[in-house]
Amino acid sequence: MPLTQISSRPLRFAIVGVSNTIVDFIVFFLLQHVLGPFAQIAGYAAGTANSYYWNRRWTFATHKSQSKGEWIRFIVVNVIVALLTTLILIGLNTFLPLWIAKVIVTLPSLALNYVLNKLWVFRPATVEPTE
């Protein structure tokens, strides 16, 4: 089935999420020996750039022009999720190998990110009441 025919928004978000996770993991594992747990921030940032492009164009298929507010909301959501996952990663890394901690924080971050993107970042435009 071509990607353009997938109609379920959560499924599209999951597909984009997989691509984000791949980008994130590649950057994370390339930098972890240099940055340790803080490679989470670099990996997450790379995944975030991928995420914005594909979620805006495909998952939430917003046809309105890109607004500064949308971009700011997207960055705020991803900074919050990146900071939370980094803190959890550091905590888990005290008793787990870093790569296992990375895998553990990934699923909850995807769920939180989806909810915040759906409800706040790519929300439908508010319709002005007509008289």
**What is the pLDDT at residue 63?**
66
**What is the pLDDT at residue 4?**
54
Q: Which tokens belong to 115?
A: 């909810």
76 pLDDT band, cuts 50/70/90, is very high
pTM exceeds 0.95 for this model: no
Query: Which has more confidence, 66 or 40?
Result: 40
d(CA 23, CA 25): 6
**What is the pLDDT at residue 7?**
67
Q: Which residue ranges make up each domain of the chain? A: 7-121
CA dihedral 120, 51, 74, 81 (to 10 degrees): 90
